[in-house]
Structure 1
């Protein structure tokens, strides 16, 4: 999905806004010659407008020579980026010596107890009968693996594909050599921690439990950063810490978007204290209430380390992610990985390359976004009479605020019905917030209905 946002209150017509934004992406080098634009149907669905808006914008760009139409293939970028603005010129000076190379089924894996997960990390995906998935692994079986340890940054062709996807979907222009392929988000965090000065790390509270545990396992103290309080109101949010771990696109687990004021305040605090901001771009691809929010790292490449993952768009068990670190940390991380032979499994990297190359991942994200957009209102309709929604309806889960005794009773009722639902308090360390975190990706529609019936029955029976 392209980083586009249409303003219905603006005086400029929607087709003119869209054409102007695509034009700017081409001039900036985010979109490059021969890049394929989304179909009018797909982009209309992503932006929530009629196909006529997209078609008019494409016709204008075609008339101006920015794009070309290929019969039976689609619409492609025809013009090169503006002078000096192409991807390859962005950050090469910093690399130095390191320069080198179907809805009805869904994902329904049970827990160890036999219960179905309704959590924040199990996505909707059905690869059992997917020809694109099978093709990816056939290519793995016929490809020649590296004879020794692979490039410590990851498979070069995969890094190129990831860089192109980040430019298209997150508006983030990076050179492939600036990307380090990891074994997931927490692995990316593990790569960063040894390169930081001695000291504690701040993590949102409530926040990502795996990140807190990873920080503690490296002998560092975790400082709580209140997630429900505007950052400018927090006294010295980064004082005494060497880094802060945040999920600005879709706060985990409250689901809120970090406001612009908080983003600027966070970067200002990082500049004042010298702390590193670690951006976990969690669930950013699955917004359906608004267009995807730009990545925080796009505001400051020198103070923000960016973590991404394929866990929510493909499968968590693929164990593939990526890290874009500030130049001063990137070289140290690559040097350490070279010594320790650290890296994601080559077969998984090779499979993801095929999934990206063939457009399978884009198709999967669009399909999953549609499923989530249909399921989220059903969850809201069921739970709204009993609890307060903590954030906007977006992504593969929603968080509901209610007293802890009610939440525990509902959780226990779900367990009795065969489902595992998490308590909000399990994500908190010092935060007093309580409630339920209800995922809806890892179950079928029928299973979701049964789980909601169990939850609402327990909540409706409270005294």
Structure 2
């Protein structure tokens, strides 16, 4: 059987230098590719027959060009190894600014920034097992573009898990998968803007990036004040917002839980005005000293868009999130997402579905709950006699209140000790009428186990 040249060999893009004859032009193109580093040392070149067929020239022309460059030392040719770019042809690359290391050795040596789990605790073995099963069982159509809501297998698994663990009322048809909370927020924001909503209320302390995303889709954010009982949802009636975004289970960053009375007030506002509640359940699985606080969505599934993510429970790099959408808004949210599922890969979705349905997710969350509780207790023991620690009944972060006027000084000291820290002030809404509060938002889940002890010591050295 005659083999086609197109079935074997490596592709090589070359444009012979014009005006010098075929052989000389080809030799110069190869020489320049090796000299510039576009063809790295050790790169195997196509055989003379394959390259000649690719370029539409005689094989002898290619063979002669190869021989010339071997003689010059640009290429090597050995029996059984083919023709390769010679090692001596490695170009010297000029140093770039990005390649230089700062005088103190790069970025911070320690980090207590919130928003990330312990990435070293990702359940690699269990995840790999789930991935193998998911791949073995995946239907062929899973490799296509798919439903814009995401794979049905994951939506079914999520519907069962969210109902059982978070008190969410839903079915698979109302779940829309996305690539994380920010993506879901962007989609809902587009839907609200298309409905001519102009303003959205947000908690007076919240993630500034989320406010920026809402601004980017044309929504103005107005602050909803916070106190020890959570967001003052009773004040919604006095605002002109058409929607509100809340973190009811564990407010970020202050750490308080929204009281039942405030939850009821939010739902009453939504029912009375036709407004919409966006519920960010970013770390609802992690609680320590209290009974589980269920999702606000359970009070009125028709007025709440529930948003969840695997970023805190597993890893943000999975780019996996989900929305539970009221029936009357589902078509609009799907339309905002597009005609195909452009988010996380189908295989990752199937893997998470297997991970959930096998019970591996529950086992992982329980294990991490114990790990994070130990860290929280160690943090309180290390600094609790020097500063007030709050917001620690749940979640992956704590708030350390500082003496008035010292937040900036402490952050400067942290930078001097190469410790990444965030102050509470960076989360404050610019239009919020709030009394000054100096504090740190400490993400105790972020360091690896090996770095946890030294990080606590450095934190202690930065506190007043």
Shared fold (TM-score, shorter chain, > 0.5): yes
| Equivalent residues of 1:406, 1:459 under 8 A apart | no
> Aligned pairs, how many?
350
Which one of 156, 174, 178 corresponds to residue 178 of structure 1?
174
Show the 5 A alignment for 1:345-364: 345-364=345-364
Instruction: Describe the SS at the equivalent of 2:227.
Output: coil
CA displacement at 1:256 relative to structure 2: 0.6
- Give, in whole Å, the separation in 2 of the partners of 1:382 and 1:370: 18
Alignment of 1:188 onto 2:187: no
Q: Is the 8 A contact 2:134 2:351 kept in 1?
A: yes
**Cα deviations by residue, 1:368-392 (Å, 9 ceiling, x for unpaired):** 1001111112211222233223324
Aligned equivalent of 2:165: 169
Q: What TM-score results when the alignment is normalised by the length of structure 1?
A: 0.70
Show structure 2 runs of 5+ residues with no match: 1-104
CA pair 236-320 structure 1, distance change in 2 beyond 3 A: closer
SS of the residue aligned with 1:285? coil
Matched, 1:365 2:365: yes
**CA positional deviation for 1:167:** 1.6
Distance in structure 2 (CA, Å) of the matches to 1:362 and 1:233: 33
SS of the residue 2:463 aligns to:
helix
Residues 212, 238 of structure 1: alpha-carbon distance in 2 compared, 3 angstrom cutoff: farther
Cα shift readout 1:323-342 (whole Å, capped 9, x = no counterpart): 01111111222234343654
Paired position in structure 1 for 2:107: 113
User: Which of the pair has more CA radius of gyration?
Assistant: 2
Secondary structure of the 2:201 match is: strand
Distance, in Å, in 2 between the alignment partners of 1:411 and 1:201 is: 31
Confirm whether residue 323 of structure 1 aligns to residue 318 of structure 2. Answer: no
Is this contact kept in 1: 2:153–2:353, CA < 8 A? Answer: yes
Contact 1:398–1:437 (Cα < 8 Å) also in 2 = yes
Q: 1:351 to 1:249 in 2, by over 3 A?
A: same
SS at 1:146 equivalent? helix
Q: For 1:39-72, what per-residue CA distance to the aligned partner results, in whole angstroms no more than 9, with x for missing partners?
A: xxxxxxxxxxxxxxxxxxxxxxxxxxxxxxxxxx
Equivalent residues of 1:253, 1:399 under 8 A apart: yes
Instruction: Write the deviation string for residues 298-345 of structure 1: whole angstroms up to 9, x where unpaired.
Output: 001111110011111110110111101111111222234343654333
Alignment partners' CA distance in 1, 2:115 and 2:232: 30
Q: What residue in structure 2 maps to residue 63 of structure 1?
A: none
Determine the C-alpha separation between the residues in 2 that align with 1:234 and 1:173: 25
Structure 2 counterpart of 1:156: 152
Deviation at 1:170, TM superposition (A): 1.0
User: Does 1:202 pair with 2:201?
Assistant: yes
Q: 1:350 to 1:404 in 2, by over 3 A?
A: farther
| Whole-Å separation in 2 of the counterparts to 1:353 and 1:127 | 20
CA distance, structure 2, for counterparts of residue 434 and residue 293 of structure 1: 28
Return closer, same or farther for 1:175/1:372 CA change in 2, 3 Å cut-off.
same
Superposition deviation, residue 229 in structure 1: 6.1
Does structure 1 retain, via aligned residues, the 8 Å contact 2:279–2:305? yes
RMSD: 2.4
Contact 1:202 1:223 in 2 (8 A): yes
CA contact (8 A) 1:123 1:313 kept: yes
Moved more, 384-393 or 278-287: 384-393
Specify the alignment match of 1:287 in structure 2: 287
* Bigger mean CA deviation after superposition, 256-265 or 382-391: 382-391
5+ residue gaps, structure 1, are: 1-110
2:122–2:315 CA contact under 8 A, matched in 1: no
SS in 2 for 1:180: strand
**2: CA distance, partners of 1:353 / 1:157:** 6
Cα distance in 2 for partners of 1:271, 1:207 equals 25
How far off its partner does 1:147 sit? 4.6
Q: Give the CA deviation at 1:129.
A: 7.5
> Compared with structure 1, are the counterparts of its residues 236 and 313 closer, same or farther at alpha carbon in structure 2 (3 Å cutoff)?
closer
The DSSP-based 3-state class of the residue aligned with 1:224 is strand
User: 1:59 matched to which residue of 2?
Assistant: none
Tell me, yes or no, if the aligned pair for 1:413 and 1:454 is still in contact at 8 Å.
no
Give the equivalent residue in structure 1 for 2:116: 122
Q: In structure 2, what is the equivalent of residue 223 of structure 1?
A: 222
Per the TM alignment, residue 402 of structure 1 is displaced from its structure 2 partner at its CA by 1.7
1:300 aligns with 2:291: no
Q: Is this contact kept in 2: 1:409–1:458, CA < 8 A?
A: no
**Residues 240 and 169 (structure 1), Cα distance of their counterparts in 2 relative to 1, 3 Å cut:** same
Instruction: Confirm or deny: 8 A CA contact 1:369 1:395 kept in the other structure.
Output: no
**Which residue matches 1:410?**
410
Q: Residue 67 of structure 1 corresponds to which residue in structure 2?
A: none
Match of 1:6 in 2: none
Find the residue that maps to 1:222 and give its secondary structure. strand
Q: Is the 8 A contact 2:111 2:455 kept in 1?
A: no
User: How much does 1:172 deviate?
Assistant: 2.0
8 A contact 2:123–2:364 mirrored in 1: no
Q: CA offset at residue 271 of structure 1?
A: 2.3
Q: Please say if residues 234 and 262 of structure 2, whose CA atoms lie closer than 8 Å, have aligned partners that are also in contact.
A: no
Tell me the residue number matched to 1:20: none
Contact 2:149 2:341 in 1 (8 A): no
Q: Is residue 202–residue 238 contact of structure 1 (8 Å, CA) maintained in 2?
A: no
Q: 1:452 to 1:238 in 2, by over 3 A?
A: farther
CA distance in 2, matches of 1:206, 1:426: 9
CA contact (8 A) 1:155 1:349 kept: yes
More deviation, 442-451/159-168: 442-451
Q: Distance in 2 between matches of 1:233 and 1:303?
A: 15
Question: Do 1:417 and 1:451's aligned partners in 2 also have CA atoms closer than 8 Å?
Answer: no
Q: What is the alpha-carbon distance in structure 1 between the residues aligned to residue 123 and residue 185 of structure 2?
A: 34
* TM-superposed deviation, 1:217: 1.1
